Amino acid sequence: MAEYKRLHRTLVHQGKITTTYTDRMLLPNGREADWDFIGHHGAAAMVAENEEGKILMVTQYRNALERYTLEIPAGGINPEENMMDAAIREVEEETGYQVENVRHLIDIYTTVAFCNEKIGIYCGKATKKENQHLDEDEFVEVHAYDLPELLDMIQKGKIQDSKTIAGILSYYNFMEKKK
């Protein structure tokens, strides 16, 4: 394989959840190029099945798309927190459900061309315990769907979020193997 070498990294912007850099790269042909790089601390998500066998989903506004999206509960990893604990915490905060019997489904890198964001996706059984505990800037609606409904929404393009698609399809595969 051809070799690439980062010559230096320049900080462009330090944000709340990402850090943007310009990397000066030495290419295999000897030329140099500037590449954008977005650093991310990672995130976690959960396919949580409630007592009725439905999957908990959240609707929230996403600024990058300028619209609401339907997603599995997810969020960033706090310092000193592992991915599974973050996934459990996010379900509790966003939905008010407590999750047990948690299993790892899949890890994904969301946008490998320019970002190192890694999301660990888990599944578990959810029981309603309390109200949501949202951040000041979060406004989240909770919904519950049957797995076939979600698969249909993915196929029809109604669900476009990559972590949600990966999570639902991985969960479907997990459930099929259990049969």
Residues catalogued as catalytic: 136
3-state secondary structure of 52: coil
8: its two tokens: 């230096």
User: What is the rounded CA–CA span in Å between residue 100 and residue 129?
Assistant: 12
H or E segment to which residue 68 belongs: strand 67-71
User: What is the rounded CA–CA span in Å between residue 124 and residue 105?
Assistant: 10
User: What is the rounded CA–CA span in Å between residue 64 and residue 105?
Assistant: 27
